[in-house]
Amino acid sequence: MSEETLSNLLKEDRRFEPPAALAEHANVTAEAYDHAAKDREGFWAEQAQRLTWDTPFEQVLDWSNPPFAKWFVGGRINAAYNCVDRHVEEGRGDKVAIHFVGEPLEPETSGTRSITYAELKDLVSQAANALTDLGVGTGDRVAIYMPMIPEAVVAMLACARIGAPHTVVFGGFSSDALASRLEDCQAKVVVTADGGYRRGAPSALKPAVDEARTKTDVVEKVLVVRRTGQDLGADGWDDAVDVWWHDAVDAASTEHTPEAFDAEHPLYVMYTSGTTGKPKGILHTTGGYLTGAAYTHWAVFDLKADTDVYWCTADIGWVTGHSYIVYGPLANGVTQVLYEGTPDSPERGRWWKIIEEYGVTIFYTAPTAIRSFMKQGREIPDARDLSSLRVLGSVGEPINPEAYVWYREVIGGGNAPVVDTWWQTETGAIMISPLPGVTSGKPGSAMNPIPGVSADVVDENGQSVPDGSGGYLVVTDPWPSMLRTIWGDDERFKETYWSRFAKEGFYFAGDGAKKDEDGDLWVLGRVDDVMNVSGHRLSTTEIESALVSHPKVAEAAVVGAKDADTGQAVCAFVILRDDAGDGGDDIVAELRKHVRKEIGPIATPRQVMVVPELPKTRSGKIMRRLLRDVAENREVGDVTTLADSSVMDLISSGMSTGKDD
């Protein structure tokens, strides 16, 4: 028993067939899997034809020096041209690219407006000219530290247009985090804003850039969008460095000829902190990345660019915003919504109002958001007409079966398939996902690698596990949007991702997963979070999903804490649904019994703590490491990546009042 790699415990029998009408006109049909498998490189060469190449590539893949891949060798391409100009040249200049929705409702401040592809082309060209005037040349790095406003997208595309790799730093990060990223990639210019609107108020950004500049001297110029008009303070402007966007960009010419770059020219660096250590600058290059983003956006969401209205709620500071707000959707020429603010401002139903108003057809969000809406209750979305929705996506964490079913029923009206998309900053694009017109969906399962991608679940020795077993998730063949290295650290790149298994060419993602009896994949969480209870390796996800399937529970986080008898014991932290009140006197016993019934005695939590909030990263992932500190009565560790640092105090104080049974 102690030999098992990861237990496979939770059973799920619900199935959802693709809607007949969607399946009939689906972009991708079941044949695609075989077609791609027969000639994988040929398949990717076909997908690369979604793009307009300046010079065609001569070789699809050069994998002669693994793990350093080169895709579309010899090809030359401009990413911004592909996302903007070609749509205008092909007669779609009047089509809306971005419906921008500002958080404030008041017309004077909201900034809400629609930008056509022709307008976007002018803006990107102007910004490209302005960056060039500021001294940015091909290969120079530009940092972008912005709210969710159209200028953020424009800045990214302007960088791509001139071949200057961007590094977008999430606007919620501190000046320290910004400074370390500026320093690591030696960013010459920062594009920022005075601030953005969040939770009904202007939230400053520029002061953090000023602060970061006291910690590193790499930055030569700061280009500042005036978004909120807030006071920058007495020392808040440095004429030698700071330049207003409305001066530099508005005055620049709308004429700009995009230069074609090598397919392997760096497009961007995205920092990801993972669970430990110094943030890793994940490098993505141009041709392969754009191919992966465009193809997956088209295939996984069944995108009909002429009629769909697409909305991804991610922040452009994360890879999801890069691949599924900027590069994939714009390369595909769709109309999309870009929303500045939070889901609950000025009212809890703000997102549903936006979907109704713009007739959003494809909606892509994260499980953490879905669970917070489950907590609030269905009355809020039920008050809006969401019938335009036809495909729903989920990304960022495993989606618990109960949250999946709620999403499908309440948001999708029972008609819209849910695609649970597994991928990472490192993979650049979706890797494992149902296809909405093909797959009979199972709630909680990311199902299968998409056509063109090969992945498997393996044991300690890199051997494929049989159906019905768990292990480590690996990608077994290179893919076009794969990371090329960690910026400035090839050794760490090899060590982190490619050395876990002796077998050359296995990319280890850091996640545990299982193959069910049908061979479908279930992602079970980070392997660092796996618990070992009496020699059974238990996944956090399965126990959390069992807890969330209880009608009183909205969210759950499970960790292993040292235990004298069993090695580790399961400790659960749960958030109750609003309509469950305090859960009643027997809530702890009730939940323990529920897990025992759903999974089995081995998974029964030793402790269940009812908490008001869970510690999450700024992208919404639960930080189980901090909960382990609480469960093992340790002082809580490094909280710098925590979205709300007061959360740990709330949880720790709840602990001392003793919710154990």
Mask for 432-461, x = binds ligand WT7 (CB under 6 A): --------------x---------------
CB of 318 to ligand WT7, least distance (A): 6
Enumerate residues 377-406 that contact ligand WT7 by CB under 6 A.
395-398
Residue 521 near residue 514 (C-beta atoms within 8 A)? yes
Residues in contact with 246: Cβ distance below 8 Å, sequence separation at least 6, in sequence order: 225, 226
Residue 259 near residue 164 (C-beta atoms within 8 A)? no
Among residues 511, 529, 544, 598, the one that binds ligand WT7 under rule CB under 6 A: 511
According to DSSP, the residues that pair with 336 across neighbouring strands are: 98, 310
Q: Is 230 in the site for ligand WT7 (CB under 6 A)?
A: no
Residue 366 near residue 618 (C-beta atoms within 8 A)? no
Q: Between 361 and 421, name the residue whose CB sits nearer to ligand WT7.
A: 421
Q: Between 110 and 275, name the residue whose CB sits nearer to ligand WT7.
A: 275
Q: Between 151 and 544, name the residue whose CB sits nearer to ligand WT7.
A: 544
∠ Cα 483 487 493 (to 5°)? 60
> How many angstroms separate the CA atoms of 27 and 652, rounded?
50
Q: Describe the crossing of helices 624-631 and 647-656 by its angle, rounded to 10 degrees.
A: 30
Structural element, H or E, at residue 285: strand 280-285
Q: Is 177 in the site for ligand WT7 (CB under 6 A)?
A: no
CB of 579 to ligand WT7, least distance (A): 28
Mask for 571-610, x = binds ligand WT7 (CB under 6 A): ----------------------------------------
Q: Between 245 and 406, name the residue whose CB sits nearer to ligand WT7.
A: 406
CB of 298 to ligand WT7, least distance (A): 18
Residues in contact with 585: Cβ distance below 8 Å, sequence separation at least 6, in sequence order: none
Backbone angles phi, psi at 35, to 5 degrees: -55, -45
Among residues 172, 462, 510, 600, the one that binds ligand WT7 under rule CB under 6 A: 510
Q: Between 215 and 278, name the residue whose CB sits nearer to ligand WT7.
A: 278
Backbone angles phi, psi at 525, to 5 degrees: 105, 175
Q: Between 44 and 508, name the residue whose CB sits nearer to ligand WT7.
A: 508
Contacts with ligand WT7 by CB under 6 A: the residue count is 21
Q: Between 161 and 618, name the residue whose CB sits nearer to ligand WT7.
A: 618
Q: What one-letter code names the amino acid at 221?
A: K
Pairing mode, strands 521-526 and 507-515: antiparallel
CB of 524 to ligand WT7, least distance (A): 8
Mask for 275-314, x = binds ligand WT7 (CB under 6 A): ----------------------------------------
* 182-186-187-188 Cα dihedral, nearest 10 degrees: 130
What ranges in 377-430 are assigned the alpha helix state H? 379-382, 401-406
The SS3 of residue 89 is: helix
Pairing mode, strands 607-610 and 567-576: parallel
Cβ atoms within 10 A of the Cβ of 382, count? 12
> What sign for the dihedral angle of Cα 234, 238, 239, 243?
negative
* 405-395-313-379 Cα dihedral, nearest 10 degrees: 20
Segment contacting ligand WT7 by CB under 6 A, of 52-60, 180-188, 225-233, 503-511: 503-511
CB of 518 to ligand WT7, least distance (A): 18
What ranges in 206-342 are assigned the alpha helix state H? 206-213, 245-248, 287-300, 319-321, 328-331
CB of 185 to ligand WT7, least distance (A): 18
Mask for 125-164, x = binds ligand WT7 (CB under 6 A): ----------------------------------------
Backbone angles phi, psi at 221, to 5 degrees: -140, 145
Segment contacting ligand WT7 by CB under 6 A, of 317-325, 354-362, 575-583, 637-645: 317-325
The SS3 of residue 42 is: helix
**486 — alpha (psi -120 to 50), left (phi > 0) or beta?**
beta
CB of 425 to ligand WT7, least distance (A): 3
CB of 431 to ligand WT7, least distance (A): 9
Q: Between 242 and 420, name the residue whose CB sits nearer to ligand WT7.
A: 420
Residue 495 near residue 508 (C-beta atoms within 8 A)? no
Q: Is 523 in the site for ligand WT7 (CB under 6 A)?
A: yes
Q: Between 110 and 272, name the residue whose CB sits nearer to ligand WT7.
A: 272
Q: Between 272 and 388, name the residue whose CB sits nearer to ligand WT7.
A: 272
> How many angstroms separate the CA atoms of 290 and 589, rounded?
51
Enumerate residues 415-434 that contact ligand WT7 by CB under 6 A.
420-425
CB of 131 to ligand WT7, least distance (A): 27
Q: Is 526 in the site for ligand WT7 (CB under 6 A)?
A: yes
Q: Between 228 and 336, name the residue whose CB sits nearer to ligand WT7.
A: 336
Among residues 8, 78, 230, 320, the one that binds ligand WT7 under rule CB under 6 A: 320
Mask for 619-638, x = binds ligand WT7 (CB under 6 A): x-------------------
Q: Between 222 and 523, name the residue whose CB sits nearer to ligand WT7.
A: 523
CB of 618 to ligand WT7, least distance (A): 10
Q: Is 339 in the site for ligand WT7 (CB under 6 A)?
A: no
Q: Between 397 and 555, name the residue whose CB sits nearer to ligand WT7.
A: 397
Q: Between 213 and 526, name the residue whose CB sits nearer to ligand WT7.
A: 526
Enumerate residues 31-70 that contact ligand WT7 by CB under 6 A.
none
Among residues 110, 216, 272, 566, the one that binds ligand WT7 under rule CB under 6 A: 272
Cβ atoms within 10 A of the Cβ of 17, count? 10
Percentage helix, strand, coil for the chain under 3-state DSSP, each rounded to 5:
30, 25, 45
Q: Between 77 and 538, name the residue whose CB sits nearer to ligand WT7.
A: 538
Q: Between 281 and 398, name the residue whose CB sits nearer to ligand WT7.
A: 398
> How many angstroms separate the CA atoms of 105 and 125, rounded?
30
Residues in contact with 48: Cβ distance below 8 Å, sequence separation at least 6, in sequence order: 57, 60, 72, 75, 287, 291, 480
Backbone angles phi, psi at 308, to 5 degrees: -75, 150
CB of 138 to ligand WT7, least distance (A): 28
Footprint on this chain of ligand WT7 (rule: CB under 6 A):
272, 318-320, 395-398, 420-425, 446, 509-511, 523, 526, 619
